[in-house]
Amino acid sequence: MRSYSADVEAFEDWCGRQGIDQPFPASVETVCQFLEDQGACRAPSTVQRRLYAIRKVHRLLRLPDPTHEEDVNLAFRRVRRTNAVRPRQAKGLTRQYLDKFLESEPDSPLGLRNRAMLALGYELLTRRSELIALRNDDLALREDGTMRVLIRRSKTDPTGRGRLAFTSASTATLLQEWFACRGPEIEWVFCPVYKGKAVDRCLETTTVRRIVKGAAERSGLGKDKVAAFSGHSMRVGAAQDLLRRGFDTAAIMRAGGWKSVNVLARYLECAEQNVWAEPA
């Protein structure tokens, strides 16, 4: 929703610069010109999202929708052909990296939280938003020492059907140690730590990225490698490891909650390469 809002604002600002006082309903010619102007400086994926945002506003306002006209389709095709950009892929945080990152965390409440977050994010193949949204009721300890985790909502599951995932016994132990340090009164699985004390509020998604990059720096990796990691790296790396272990695409899609095989295919492109190297 934030992206759609920003995209609609970009369209309205562009219309203002073109002397168009009333952006909605938009004409076919206006939408075509907007797409081509945006294509000169934006990635095709961004242009496509802005096209969808314009379409959504017309539908919400029950206005005639120009975005399905053939001229608009042709304009967007020209954008894709003219400005073909390969999607940027986060570096996979594979098991070999994960072990190094876990070792790099300090022996403190903050380090304990970070170790639990990294291990859980990797094993559940979570998105950043899914990881920080977890609450105590979403986790259940099993008889074998592992944990069952309910991921209630996701980017591809906005209606909240949820998916179940499971941890290893070692990650369950890390989580229990973090819970003992955090205290039982906080409902969020992961929360901020200030001066060694847990704070009762949800984390921001940017915290996940900072934790991953901070661990990469402490592990002695070069600047280029540190920059290649993101908050999405745990999900990418875990998928790559599953492929190397012999799991098929359908199993990996179920494990990570993917709906598109094309998206997963991008994550798995580097799975057969030796992604671990000595610190640069």
Sheet holding 163-166, edge to edge: 139-141, 147-151, 163-166
- pLDDT at residue 257, as a whole number: 84
Q: Which two tokens stand for residue 13?
A: 């600002």
Strand partners, 194: 197
**Across 178-185, average pLDDT:** 95
- Judged against a pLDDT cut of 90, whether residue 81 lies above it is answered with no
- pLDDT at residue 155, as a whole number: 73
- Judged against a pLDDT cut of 60, whether residue 277 lies above it is answered with no
Residue 87: which pLDDT band, with cuts at 50, 70 and 90?
Answer: low
Give tens-digit pLDDT for 13-72: 999 999 999 999 999 999 999 999 999 888 888 999 999 999 999 999 999 999 999 999
Q: Which two tokens stand for residue 194?
A: 């200030």
Give tens-digit pLDDT for 110-142: 999 999 999 999 999 999 999 999 999 999 999
**Across 200-225, average pLDDT:** 95
Which of 63-67, 171-175, 243-247, 267-271 has the lowest average pLDDT? Answer: 267-271
DSSP states of 48-66: HHHHHHHHHHHHHTT----
Answer for the pair 11, 54: CB distance below 8 angstroms, yes or no. yes
- Judged against a pLDDT cut of 70, whether residue 86 lies above it is answered with no
Answer for the pair 12, 20: CB distance below 8 angstroms, yes or no. no
- Judged against a pLDDT cut of 80, whether residue 280 lies above it is answered with no
Residue 107: which pLDDT band, with cuts at 50, 70 and 90?
Answer: very high
Best CATH choice for the domain 2-82 from the list 1.10.150.130, 3.40.50.150, 1.20.1630.10, 1.10.150.20: 1.10.150.130
CA distance 5 to 8: 5
User: What region does 183 belong to: left with phi over 0, alpha with psi -120 to 50, or beta?
Assistant: left
Letter string b/e over residues 31-48, b meaning 16 or more CB atoms within 10 A of that residue's CB: bbbbbeebbeebbbebbb
For the chain, domain boundaries: 2-82, 95-267
Q: Report strand pairing: 147-151 vs 163-166.
A: antiparallel
- The superfamily (CATH) of domain 95-267 is Intergrase catalytic core (1.10.443.10)
Q: What is the mean pLDDT of the chain?
A: 90
- pLDDT at residue 273, as a whole number: 53
Measure the N-to-C terminal CA separation of the chain; round to a whole number of Å. Answer: 40
The backbone torsions φ and ψ at residue 117, rounded to the nearest 5 degrees and listed phi first, read: -65, -45
